[in-house]
Copies of this chain bind each other. A is one copy, B any other.
Amino acid sequence: MTTTDEDERVRRTSTETDPDIYNEDGVVRSDFLTKISDAIERQDVPFLQQNVVRLHDSELGDLLESLPPHERLALVRLLGNDFDMTALTQVDEAIRMEIVDQMPNDQIAAGIGELDSDDAVYILEDLDQEDRDEILSQLPFTERVRLRRALDYPERSAGRRMQTEFVAVPPFWTVGQTIDYMRDEEGLPEAFTQIFVIDPTFKLLGSIDLDRILRAKRQAKVEGIMRETSHPIPAEMDQEEAAQLFEQYDLLSAAVVDENQRLVGVLTIDDVVDVINEEADEDIKRLGGVGDEELSDNVTSTVRSRFVWLAVNLITAILASSIIDVFDGAIAKMVALAVLMPIVASMGGNAGTQTMTVTVRALATGDLDIYNAFRVIRREASVGLINGILFAIIMGAVATFWFHDFQLGIVVGAAMIINLVAAALGGILLPLILHRFGADPAIASSAFVTTVTDCTGYFAFLGIATWWFAIH
Contacts and interface: CB of A to CB of B under 8 A. Distances in A.
A46 interface: no
Contact of A183 (B214, B244, B351, B369): B214
Given A270-B250, A369-B27, A331 B321 contact: no
The number of times this chain is found in the oligomer is 2
Given A310-B350, A313-B347, A288 B356 contact: yes
Interface stretch (A100-108, A149-157, A337-345): A337-345
Given A287-B284, A340-B321, A306 B387 contact: yes
Contacts of A228: 13, 16-17
Interface stretch (A123-131, A134-142, A389-397, A463-471): A389-397
A55 to B, nearest CB: 12
A56 B317 contact: no
B281 A354 contact: no
A296 to B, nearest CB: 8
B347 A310 contact: yes
18 contacts: A16-B231, A27-B369, A56-B248, A182-B215, A183-B214, A183-B217, A192-B211, A193-B210, A273-B276, A276-B280, A281-B365, A302-B379, A313-B347, A314-B347, A314-B391, A317-B347, A321-B340, A331-B335
Given A285-B358, A299-B382, 15 more contacts: A16-B228, A27-B370, A58-B248, A182-B215, A183-B215, A191-B211, A247-B273, A247-B277, A290-B357, A298-B379, A303-B386, A310-B350, A322-B339, A328-B336, A332-B335
